Structure 1
Amino acid sequence: MNVSACMSAPAVSVTPTTTVGEAARQMAVHGVGCLAVTEGGALRGIVTDRDIAVRAVAPGLDRDDPVLQVMTTPAVAVGVHDDIHTAYRTFRTSGVRRLPVLDGHRVVGVLTVDDLLMDVFRRVADLLGPVAWSVLEMPPGPADEIGPGARGGGRSPSASRGS
């Protein structure tokens, strides 16, 4: 599976001269925790909510200062056609939580650790779903074999589904 299957697209981007205040506003408007910093269509860096808190607010920078002063550069990125396992390795070795996704030099999306967690949850659900339903459809065993109340207080699975 390619990175493009899990990434959020399109990426929200700003220029290096965008103010810290405007970058924070863009994050709030778009509901994102990072912005790609681009110039002439090329990735220059990334600015995260943490960058703003730690590198701008904490040291007392002005909200009118450019994100160039607080962005992370160079940004660690992955390619849109990279295998998802490449992204897992990149997260593990770089320690970042967000990766801009590039198609050539153009930013086309962002992949986050949360995106990969959702992929893992979907895969586990696909794997365990049929097993879970087969267990739920089995009648409960005798209480003396498994102990009193071990299966939901003696209620059958079909009775607990409606409650």
Structure 2
Amino acid sequence: MTTPPVTVGPTTTAFQAAQVMEQEAVGCVLVTDHGRLRGILTDRDLTVRGLAHGPRPAQPVGDLMTTPVTTVDAGDDLDTAYRTFRNAGVRRLPVLDDGRPVGMLTVDDLLRDVVERLVDLLIPVSRSALRETTV
């Protein structure tokens, strides 16, 4: 997961949020109020809710964010995250610790995990195969 998560307040404007997303090279920000998660604002939210009905760069992200937010707990295992992604059909999962965002888990993070696990499995098999061909 990526830590710390990128956050903005609910009164942050759409324009300011877009600038934060560009500066941080992220596709979403978590909308928090007093450290508590209130919503998630994705690049798609900005496009569909913020621009599709006429550009309103001063509109607060509290009006554009997606809520409720599908999350996982910091104590959850990776299998729980996989199931949550699959069942919810989302690409990003905020990770919460006692209701406060501590990270962001993305489908890309899980893809990296899958590739690393595959490499871990294939290296011994490859070594074994190479030994057999040299004998």
1:72-120 CA distances to partner (integer Å, 9 max, x unpaired)? 0011111111011111111111111001100101110000011011001
- 1:35 aligned residue: 29
Q: Which runs of 4+ in 1 moved over 2 A?
A: 132-140
Please give the secondary structure, in 2, of the residue aligned with 1:47. Answer: strand
Please tell me whether residue 66 in structure 1 is matched to residue 60 in structure 2: yes
Per the alignment, residue 101 of structure 1 pairs with 95
**So what's the TM-score if we normalise by structure 1?**
0.77
Q: CA deviation at 1:136?
A: 5.0
The offset of 1:134, in angstroms, is 4.0
> Residue type matched to 1:47 in 2?
L
* Other-structure match for 1:26: 20
Counterpart residue type for residue 30 of structure 1? E
Which structure would you say has the larger Rg?
Answer: 1
Distance 1:52 1:138 in 2: 56
Identify the residue that residue 54 of structure 1 maps to in structure 2: 48
RMSD over aligned CA atoms reads 1.5
Write the letter of the residue equivalent to 1:105.
G
Partner of 1:16: 10
**What's the offset of the Cα at 1:41?**
0.8
Q: What TM-score do you get using the length of structure 2 for normalisation?
A: 0.93
- CA distance in structure 1 between the partners assigned to 2:114 and 2:44 by the alignment: 25
Cα distance, 1:61 vs. partner?
3.5
Mark the runs of 5 or more structure 1 residues left unpaired by the alignment: 1-6, 141-163
Could you tell me which residue of structure 2 aligns to residue 151 of structure 1?
A: none
